[in-house]
A and B are shown apart, each in its own frame.
Chain A
Amino acid sequence: LIGSAQFACDTERRMNGHVKNMHFQQFMETAATLLSLLLLMTVDSTKTVAASTNQQCGNLLQQTLKITRIVHKESGDLIKTYKAAQGEMSELFCKVSVNDIPDPNISGLDPPARIASIYTHLQAFLPHFKRVYKQQTDLQSPGSPLLKELTRVWDRTESLASFINTFYQSLFPNLPIPEPAGGPTTLPPAQNVFQQKVYGCVVLKTYKDFMSNVSKELRNIKSKVCTKRTPINAF
């Protein structure tokens, strides 16, 4: 606006004393004024859109955060149920180190990368949930509450991953969400009962830690991703 106003003044100075084409000058002035007004209106509308978009972003983020908390809580309850179902020395199972378990930490430098990391980690845990469920089906009775809880956490993890995907795409429509690196998840080789028990405990514990990290991350990125400079398509 200032630039256009400056340009109009310069033009008028050059025209002082010389009335060559007064009509053109008047037309240009009017045009400039109109253009300024249009620009103002555009900026204003952008703010409104940005405000409503921010609210939607915030709601979506809030929703994601709530689901994450549920999963986090249920993962903690699941570990208790798991340990109770494994018999003696179950407290020691979760302290054993097991390979090929997804990392509970979130990677990435910027919000899009970190949200993508959350998604890929969730996807990476799903095969392990499936394996643990299968192993515990052999070790537990059919009506064991552990199996039911495992199923619930597994399904909720799937839904969370889908929700994260939707959230990512709504925030970053032009950025495809990456798939887990390194191809499909690598599962450990066949295990004996003890190993199965250890494996299951480590998977669940790692998942619980991961969900804790996800909750923290989502709380931190709210101010970063749900701002006016970040356009969001209507959801």
Chain B
Amino acid sequence: KIISSNIKCQWEAVGHQTEAVPTNYTLKLSSTSFFSDKIFTASILGPVNNTTIDLNFFPNHMELEIWVVAQNELGKEESEHLIKPANCFVKTKPPSVAVISEAVFPTCLVMNWTSINKIYLETIYEIRFCPLGSQKWFYVPLADTSSYIQSFRLQNLQPDTVYVTQVRCKYNKKHCGYWSDWSSNVTERTPEDLPKSKPDVWIITSEEGINKRQIEFICKDPEFSNGRIRRFNITIEKQKDSIRNGTWEIIPVNRSLTDGSSSKKQITPLITILLDDEESVTVYVTAINSVGASPQAKLIISPKTRGKCPLEKMEVQSHNGQLFLSWKPPNRTVSDFEYVVEWVSDGERNWQREDGKTTYTAIKGDLEKFVHYRISVYPIYGKLVGKPVHVHAYFEQGVPSQGPSVNLSGDPGCYTAKLEWDEIPLIKRRGFITNYTIYYRSGTETRGITVPSNTTSYTLTSLSRNTKYDIWIKASTIRGSVNGSNHSFTTLKYAPGEIEGIVVGVSLGFLFVVLMTMLLCFCKKDVIKDNFWPQIPNPGDSTIGNWSPDYPLKAEAPRENCLSGISVLNVDVCDAKCVFEEDKASLPLKKDKYLSEEHSSGIGGSSCMSSPRQSVSDSDEGGDMADTTASTIQYSSVVASSGYKGQNPSSLPQQSIFSRSESTQPLLDCEENHDTMVQEGSRQCFLRQPCFTHNAGNENATDSNDFNPLEMEQQEVLDFCSLEEDTEHTAPADCQSDDWIPAPVSSYMPQLGGYRPQ
């Protein structure tokens, strides 16, 4: 390498310059020591203020005189003359650097470089270096490099660390020459060395059943690993045997080669054990790199119940981009006393050790914003882990990323609704929840209720029935709030038991009414019976009695199909039944039909309930027929003549003595519905009595085979037309009909002729 023969000179024009009067600058260079009187020049026109002179060779070690002459139309001016050795005008190029490491010197790097030959320019150097990734340069003292050297040994470096190095040079004369630029970066890694510090051993404790705990031992590389840790050796010693019985277990480390710029140490899980709460163990760990083993680390896990007194008054504060902790130290300590500050978040765990005199520190790890941390401080009494104190904290709080989802608990009522919601997941909470605000909206009206943060359910009251409500919950932190998802529900129109209550009430009321009615009916059954089911005497049970009517009666010619051949019977209702039964035995009746009629009429029962009474015919005194036969109703009259059988209707007695039959038979329906019967215009001739065959509507009425001739005769005899009860009895025209017209089961034609209701 030689020095260029071109010398570049730069000057600064002084005073006002104008383009109207251009200035010509002439650079002049001479050296009396070797060029005799020769002067080298180079001219240039202003306003350019630099130019170059080529000397064919650079006059090393010779003194030069350099000046500039400015000349324009107005005059000429010379600058000051720079008289210096030629080497003082040299700015060298940076040296070419090479760095090598030596295995036997793990804390050293040897730098070699080449620069300009010493015979041309004797140079001095300046060296700087820094760990890769660091922005802080370390400068070698100039005194150590102020001579013409071509190599230098950097010392007191960290083993297994990559360093960046640079060199620059200058003419070795005070106040003379220009420093070159820094050489390009050259990196080299120092060799590995023995680890100089212990590995940092810690534990993760979790409950495992009753009186047992699971302890996982984890470890960070030693602070001065001096190389890549390839494995950890661990041995566990249980104290109960009071002898060292642990065997060394090797835990390999699978980790890629990391450079020295990484400040975050990786955590290696070592081993997990189960330990009784009463047990105590001691753990010894060493870290191994390519050169050898580190000093041994020791940790004692004490029995759970014999934990020392915990720390007090632990506080956390975020300040200046760091999280600071403070606590009150315990009353008793030992000589080898320190603290372990641990911070745990979802998926991350780290710790740092603090001196025993520290009560205020900052967490040195990289904490993330909006992440929940559980921070613990453990006192370590001579390697023995004490009881910790915990606190929850956020490095920086924010607004939750999602709100709580609210749901109904059960079904809503008419006026109330129970809400419940889950806490926001920790990962999305981003801060401490200060309170929840429950909003519910119906229509355009929105209301809000604020509840404490430890609440997860709430019952809304004073709601309107059958109304749709939209609800949502807002969760708030000190940074802000976020609304949760909406949920809608509609309150009930009726309360759950309301309808049943109404139904039950109505039913009870109805039942009460029914009961009362029944009771009334029972109490007034006679009245009712008399009104609804008048007793119709059974002609079969009647006896002929003499009855003198109160008014003259016309003798009517008995009609063929009317009351002819009617026999008056005195029959007790109940006896009628017995008679019926006797007849039943004697009369070849269809039992089923008979019984069916009896059942269908439904009258037999009621009629049976009536007290036996005497027929009118039996009582000559007359008396008050109504009293004695209060429940009997006369339904037939007998024309007293030569007998009722086979009477000849054509003969009309001038004075008739009527025998009236009395019966306790109730009134037939047609007596009640006399108008209907008349309007229909049909004569309905039937019998309605419990003890007699009911042939109204009986299809089998025409089947004479099934009937007893006596019965048939009775039927003939008892064939009569229905008449109104209290009116003049006129036979409906229809009764003239000779045919039996089937009548409804429950109705009959009231008897013709007058009778006095009993």
Residues of B within 8 A of A220 (CB): none
In whole angstroms, what is the CA distance A69 to B120 when docked? 9
Type the 1/0 row for A57-70, where 1 means its CB is closer than 8 Å to any CB of B. Answer: 00000010011011
CB-based contact B34/A160 at 8 Å? yes
Cα(A205)–Cα(B75), bound, Å: 53
| Cα of A160 to Cα of B61 in the assembled complex, Å | 11
Q: Are B57 and A155 in contact (CB under 8 A)?
A: yes
A151 touches B56 (CB 8 A): yes
Q: Is A195 an interface residue (CB 8 A)?
A: no
Q: Distance (Å) between the CB of B578 and the closest chain A CB?
A: 165
Asked whether any CB of chain B lies closer than 8 Å to the CB of A216, the reply is no
Residue A131, interface by CB 8 Å: no
Minimum distance in angstroms from B112 CB to a CB of chain A:
22
Verify if B455 is at the interface (C-beta below 8 Å from A). Answer: no
Q: Is A229 an interface residue (CB 8 A)?
A: no
Known pairs A66-B119, A70-B120, A151-B57 / 15 extra A-B pairs, C-beta < 8 Å: A66-B60, A66-B61, A69-B119, A70-B61, A70-B119, A73-B117, A152-B5, A155-B56, A159-B34, A160-B34, A162-B33, A163-B34, A163-B62, A166-B32, A166-B33
A228, CB-defined interface residue at 8 Å: no
A-B pairs, 6 with minimum CB distance: A159-B34, A162-B34, A66-B61, A152-B57, A69-B119, A163-B34
How near does chain B come to A134, taking the closest CB pair, in angstroms? 17
- B 89-119 to A, binary, CB cutoff 8 A, 1 in contact else 0: 0000000000000000000000000000101
Nearest Cβ in chain A — how far from B454, in angstroms?
Answer: 90
CB-defined A-B contacts under 8 Å, sample of 12: A63-B62, A66-B61, A66-B119, A67-B61, A70-B60, A152-B56, A152-B57, A155-B56, A156-B57, A158-B34, A159-B34, A163-B33
Give the residues from 63 to 81 in chain A that come closer than 8 angstroms, CB to CB, to chain B: 63, 66-67, 69-70, 73
Contact A67 B60 (CB under 8 A): yes
A67 surroundings in chain B (CB, below 8 A) = 60-62
**Which residues of A are found within 8 Å of B119, using beta-carbon distances?**
66, 69-70, 73
Q: Chain B residues with Cβ under 8 A from A160's Cβ?
A: 34
Nearest residue in A to B32 (C-beta to C-beta)?
A166
Contact with A along B23-67 (1 / 0, CB 8 A): 000000000111110000000000000000000110111100000
Given the complex, which residues of A lie within 8 Å of B61, measured CB to CB? 63, 66-67, 70
- For A159, list chain B residues within 8 Å (CB): 34-35, 57, 59, 62
Q: Give A216 to B210 CA distance when docked, in angstroms.
A: 97
How many residues belonging to A are interface residues under a CB distance threshold of 8 Å? 16
Smallest Cβ distance from A6 to chain B, in angstroms?
A: 51
A96-B455 Cα distance, complex, nearest whole Å? 112
B269 to chain A, nearest CB (A): 66
B60 to A, closest residue via Cβ: A70
Interface residue ranges, A against B (CB under 8 Å): 63, 66-67, 69-70, 73, 151-152, 155-156, 158-160, 162-163, 166
Secondary structure at the B interface, as helix, strand, loop or mixed, is: loop
Q: How far is the CA of A69 from the CA of B119 in the complex (A)?
A: 7
Knowing A70-B60, A155-B56, A156-B57 touch, does A162 contact B120 (C-beta < 8 A)?
no
Chain B residues with Cβ below 8 Å from A162 are 33-36
- Give B contacts to A, CB under 8 Å: 5, 32-36, 56-57, 59-62, 117, 119-120
Q: Shortest beta-carbon distance, A216 to chain B, in Å?
A: 15
> How many CB-defined contacts (below 8 Å) exist between A and B?
40
CA–CA, A105 and B57, complex, Å: 27
Chain A CB count within 10 A is highest, among B34, B56, B59, B120, for B34
Which residues of B lie under 8 Å from residue A163 when comparing CB positions? 33-34, 62
Residues in B with CB closer than 8 Å to A66 are 60-61, 119
The smallest C-beta distance from B384 to any residue of chain A, in angstroms, reads: 74
Alpha-carbon gap, A70 to B57, bound state (A): 12
Q: Which residue of A lies closest to B57 (CB)?
A: A152
Residues of A with C-beta under 8 A to B33: 162-163, 166
Contacts of A156 in B (CB 8 A): 57
A66–B5 alpha-carbon span in the complex (Å)? 18
User: Could you tell me the distance between the alpha carbons of A137 and B35 in the complex, rounded to whole angstroms?
Assistant: 25
Q: Which residues of A sit under 8 angstroms from B62, Cβ to Cβ?
A: 63, 67, 159, 163
Chain B residues contacting A63 (CB-CB under 8 Å) are 61-62
A22 to B116: give the CA distance in the assembly, Å: 77
B5 CB contacts on chain A under 8 angstroms = 152
A65 to chain B: closest residue by CB: B61
Residues of B within 8 A of A155 (CB): 56-57
Chain A residue at minimum C-beta to C-beta distance from B61: A66
Quote the shortest CB–CB distance from B317 to chain A (angstroms): 69
Complex: how many Å from CA A163 to CA B34?
5
In angstroms, Cα B36 to Cα A148, docked, is 23
Min CB–CB distance B429 → chain A (angstroms): 77
CB nearest to B38 among chain A residues: A162
A158 to B33, CA, bound (A): 11
**Residue in B32, B33, B56 whose Cβ sees the most chain A Cβ within 10 Å:** B33
Cα of A141 to Cα of B107 in the assembled complex, Å: 54
A152–B4 alpha-carbon span in the complex (Å): 11
Q: How far is the CB of A63 from chain B (nearest CB, A)?
A: 5
Q: What CA separation (Å) do A162 and B59 show in the bound complex?
A: 12
CB distance from A143 to the nearest CB of B (A): 16
Q: State A158–B36 Cα separation when bound (angstroms).
A: 11
Note all chain A residues with C-beta closer than 8 A to B60: 66-67, 70
Max count, chain B CB within 10 A of own CB: residue among A66, A73, A152, A160: A66
CA distance in complex: A166, B56 (Å): 22
Q: Closest Cβ of chain B: how far from A64's Cβ, in Å? A: 9
Closest B residue to A160 by beta carbon equals B34
Docked Cα-Cα span, A155 to B57, in Å, equals 7
A151 contacts across to B, CB distance below 8 A: 56-57
Nearest chain B residue, comparing its CB with the CB of A73 = B119
Residue on A nearest B31 in the bound complex, by CB:
A159
A235, closest chain B residue (CB): B33
Q: Which residue of B lies closest to A66 (CB)?
A: B61
| Complex alpha-carbon distance, A99 and B29, angstroms | 40
How far is the CB of B24 from the nearest CB of chain A, in Å? 28
The minimal Cβ–Cβ distance linking B757 to chain A, given in whole angstroms, is: 165
Closest beta carbon of chain A to B423's beta carbon, Å: 84
Q: Could you tell me the distance between the alpha carbons of A159 and B63 in the complex, rounded to whole angstroms?
A: 12
- Nearest CB of chain A from residue B69's CB, rounded to whole Å: 25
Nearest CB to that of B59 among chain A residues? A159
Best-surrounded residue of A67, A73, A151 (most CB of chain B within 10 A): A67
Query: Which residues of the other chain, B, contact A166 by a CB distance below 8 angstroms?
Result: 32-34
Nearest-neighbour CB distance to chain A for B391, whole angstroms, equals 75
Q: List the A residue with the shortest CB-CB distance to B63.
A: A63
CA of A152 to CA of B54, assembled, Å: 12
Q: How far is the CB of A98 from chain B (nearest CB, A)?
A: 27
Q: How far is the CA of A164 from the CA of B117 in the complex (A)?
A: 23
State how many angstroms separate the Cβ of A233 from the closest Cβ of chain B. 15
- Among residues of B, the one whose C-beta sits closest to the C-beta of A161 is B34
Please give me the residue from chain B that is nearest to A151 by CB atom.
B56
| A122 vs B494: C-alpha distance when bound (angstroms) | 130
Q: State in angstroms the CA–CA spacing of A232 and B156 once bound together.
A: 52
Specify which chain A residues have a CB less than 8 angstroms from the CB of B34 in the assembled complex.
Answer: 158-160, 162-163, 166
Query: Once the chains are docked, how many angstroms separate the CA of A217 from the CA of B503?
Result: 141
Q: Which residue of B lies closest to A164 (CB)?
A: B34
Q: A223 to nearest B CB, angstroms?
A: 21
Task: Tell me the complex Cα distance, A156–B86, Å.
Answer: 14
Within the complex, the shortest CB–CB distance from B620 to chain A, in Å, comes to 183
Query: What chain A residues lie within 8 Å of B117 (beta carbons)?
Result: 73
**A162–B36 Cα gap in the complex (Å)?**
7
- Tell me the smallest distance from the CB of A232 to a CB of chain B, in Å: 16
Among A152, A158, A162, chain B packs the most CB atoms within 10 A around the CB of: A162
Taken together as a complex, chains A and B put the C-alpha atoms of A69 and B61 apart, in Å, by 11
CB distance from B80 to the nearest CB of A (A): 22
A166 to B117, CA, bound (A): 26
Closest to A64 in B: B61
CA distance A155 to B36 in the complex (A): 13
Query: Complex formed: what's the CA distance from A159 to B34 in Å?
Result: 5
- Of A155, A158, A160, A166, most buried by chain B (CB within 10 Å of CB) is A155
